[in-house]
Amino acid sequence: MVGLGTFGAGAAAALHEAGHRVVALDEDAAVVERLADELPEVLIGDGTEVEALEEAGAREADAAIVATGHDVTASLLTALTLRDLGVSEIYVKVASDLHARILDTLGLAIAVFPERESAQFLAKRVTRRTILNYVELGPGFSAQEMAVPGSWVGKTLRQLELPRRYEVAVVAVRDVLADRYAPVPDPDAPLKESDAVLVAGPDAALEKVARIG
């Protein structure tokens, strides 16, 4: 993780809590000192410098997140340096569409618009009250986690025939009370009121599913 502003620190903490090893880097000594109790490996350093990234273990990293705020030059240089060090999966918080286009044109990293994506999710959640999580997978295609509609409780996925009736597929079922996922759901297991389902499909089809009572 390079950059420990609100987004960077939040992402680093979430990854650490999920059990991943996270090495975080920031130029601001005060920020590093403040987060030292929350993250086990926080270093002071400039993400545009090879030496700093090597000290942070970039050569062995599976993935990197660059969250240097609105400093476009710094984020581009950091992404380029990470790529040169062999990091294959790089995510960059971008400040504008132009910033994202430059990354895409150079083939450096995956652009992330945290504010825009958060706003889109909030809009989806406000208009579809059953939705728990929402992820855009591609143009016109998404996945959403939603509470099981009352009319689905007690029925199986085979009985519901969602691909035929709604052109969507349930790719996982979560028991909310036990916080346990079934990534390959049993098509003959009755859905419970305490379940949530991860549904994928065209946005228009998901809109219809979200309105089911």
Six token digits for residue 135: 């992820």
In CATH terms, 6-112 corresponds, of 2.30.30.40, 3.40.50.2000, 3.40.50.720, 3.30.300.30, to 3.40.50.720
Return the pLDDT at 129: 46
Q: What is the chain's percent helix, strand, coil content, to nearest 5? A: 40, 25, 35
DSSP 13: H
Return the pLDDT at 14: 82
* pLDDT < 70: residue spans in the chain: 69, 115-134, 213
- With beta carbons less than 8 A apart as the criterion, state whether 76 and 90 touch: no
Q: Where do the H-state alpha helices sit in 19-96?
A: 29-35, 50-55, 72-84
What residues pair up with 65 in beta bridges, in sequence order?
A: 91
Return the pLDDT at 122: 44
Full-model pTM: 0.58
| Strand order across the 110-112 sheet | 64-66, 90-93, 110-112
- With beta carbons less than 8 A apart as the criterion, state whether 88 and 25 touch: no
The segment(s) of the chain belonging to CATH 3.30.70.1450 are: 117-210
The segment(s) of the chain belonging to CATH 3.40.50.720 are: 6-112
Return the pLDDT at 186: 92
Q: How far apart are CA 110 and CA 15, in angstroms?
A: 18
DSSP 205: H
Which class is 117-210 in CATH? alpha beta
